[in-house]
Amino acid sequence: MTLHIPFDNSYAALPDAFYTRLNPTPVRAADTLAWNDALAGELGISGQDAAVFAGNVVPDGAAPLAQLYAGHQFGNYNPQLGDGRAILLGEVVDVNGVRRDIQLKGSGPTPYSRMGDGRSWLGPVLREYVVSEAMHALGIPTTRALAAVATGEPVLREQGPLPGAVLTRVASSHLRVGTFQIFAHRGHIDELRTLTDYAIARHHPDADGPLGLLAAVCAAQAELVAAWMSVGFIHGVMNTDNCTISGETIDYGPCAFMDGYHEGRVYSSIDQQGRYAFGNQPRIAVWNMAQLATSLIQLFDDKDAAIEQATAIVHAMPEQVQAAWLRRYGAKIGLSDATAEDQPLIEDLLALMQAQGADFTNTFAALGTDTARDQFTDRDAFDTWQVRWRDRNPDMSVMAQANPQIIPRNHRIEAMIEAAVAGDMDPFQRLMTALAQPYDVAAAFDDLRRPPTDDEIVPATFCGT
């Protein structure tokens, strides 16, 4: 079947201040490694074609471009970033009427590549494929993976030459906080206004003006970060250029799911200060929204009044995160009606888990069964907690929908990548199958639920660059 993508492009119709038009750079030998048939169906895409998803052929109706943006990286403003290794092919309106971006990542240099080669190696492509699809199966807003295509070209990284690959990423849009920042910082108010109108129409149509948009993005990001916290997900690089206006998780670089629980857990090799440690994520989400607020304020003539209103919106966000956190963690211990009075019960369990290095996913998945206490070294302390918990009459069916039995563990991802580099895609396929049903995984995948042994622990994750 020949490939057809029903493109319907809106970003390419914006003024050219927002992007640079250019085609992906062709590769030597395109070979499809993974294809997401269900997602293709949702997008109305028929057929598949390695040449298109490697960037060798620009499909009919595409309007390829690299998007411009800036962003705070680890708290420092970088006045120009942009798609340095990605190209937006265009958009489709999916079967549900939702507009979705189709983007190639690792598709060659752009005017925004700076020192980079515009390429990606196979490891980060498959990591993003597996983790983003796992997040989707967990019910957490995220960009998706449509295809992974090997390029047949080596990519030079610190470790030496590695096999190159291109990921096709699907997103509600690639608008980020950094997209607003670049025009605000440059004082390009007309572009900032155009962008704001575009973002409202595309993502938050009920929002009333720039401050309505701010409130809607704060609400979406508050829900998102609470969802991450509830599954032990550490994004790893919550820079403002990796923070979406849609409220989807984006940019699976040095991300990881925790094994043993610790609120200070960091995996990213570049996060030396622990700025993006597990427990800091809610604060950083609020910090990122303060940067969006700072940009949007530029649209107002009466800046003092706008600052006052925007400040109130951002200051309301910690409470939103807290409410979402309590709802999710309440459900994790079987309470569909958790209140602030239940908070100590949840926190005391987390404190026990942290003190004893209990596995985050497996402890919650085992609550209410005989094996829960096996997660702890000091079982008496857990038993004492359990008596208090039972008094609250937890509902097992609520827990079953809040506690995944399986997450993409780091050591499994690394092993999958190692196999793929050696030409074996079976571990990738097996992980994908297991992670598709995280709340009800087949016994055949029990080995994938096991935490790493001391030898298997992957202490650090690296960026895709």
Phi, psi of 215 (to 5 degrees): -65, -40
Helix (H) or strand (E) holding 396: helix 396-400
* Selected binder of ligand AMP within 55, 82, 163, 427 (CB under 6 A): 82
Residue 83 binds ligand AMP (CB under 6 A): yes
Residue 81 binds ligand AMP (CB under 6 A): yes
Structure token pair of residue 159: 């470790």
* Selected binder of ligand AMP within 15, 47, 79, 116 (CB under 6 A): 116
Distance CA 399, CA 457 (A): 28
Q: Look up residue 147 and give its amino acid.
A: A
Of 139, 145, 314, residue with least CA distance to 230 = 139
Is 212 buried (19+), middle (13-18) or exposed (0-12) by CB count in 10 A?
A: middle
Q: Which does 253 bind (CB under 5 to 8 A by kind): Mg ion, ligand AMP, none?
A: ligand AMP
Residue 109 or 452 with smaller CB distance to ligand AMP? 109
Task: In angstroms, give the least distance from the CB of 250 to Mg ion.
Answer: 7
Which residue is at the shortest CB distance from ligand AMP? 116
Catalytic residue among 241, 259, 271, 359: 241
Q: Look up residue 213 and give its amino acid.
A: L
* Selected binder of ligand AMP within 312, 442, 457, 463 (CB under 6 A): 463
* Selected binder of ligand AMP within 49, 94, 191, 251 (CB under 6 A): 251
**Burial readout 415-432 (b: 16 or more C-beta within 10 A, e: otherwise):** ebbebbeeeeeebbebbb
Residue 242 binds Mg ion (CB under 5 A): yes
* Selected binder of ligand AMP within 72, 100, 119, 202 (CB under 6 A): 119
Estimate to the nearest angstrom the gap between the alpha carbon of 212 and the chain centroid.
24
Where in 227-246 is the site for ligand AMP (CB under 6 A)?
237, 241-242
Residue 88 binds ligand AMP (CB under 6 A): no
Phi, psi of 413 (to 5 degrees): -65, -45
241 is catalytic: yes
Q: Which does 433 bind (CB under 5 to 8 A by kind): Mg ion, ligand AMP, none?
A: none
Of 281, 222, 266, 214, residue with least CA distance to 247 = 222
List residues binding ligand AMP (CB under 6 A).
Answer: 81-85, 112-113, 116-119, 237, 241-242, 251, 253, 463-465
- Residues annotated catalytic, as ranges: 241
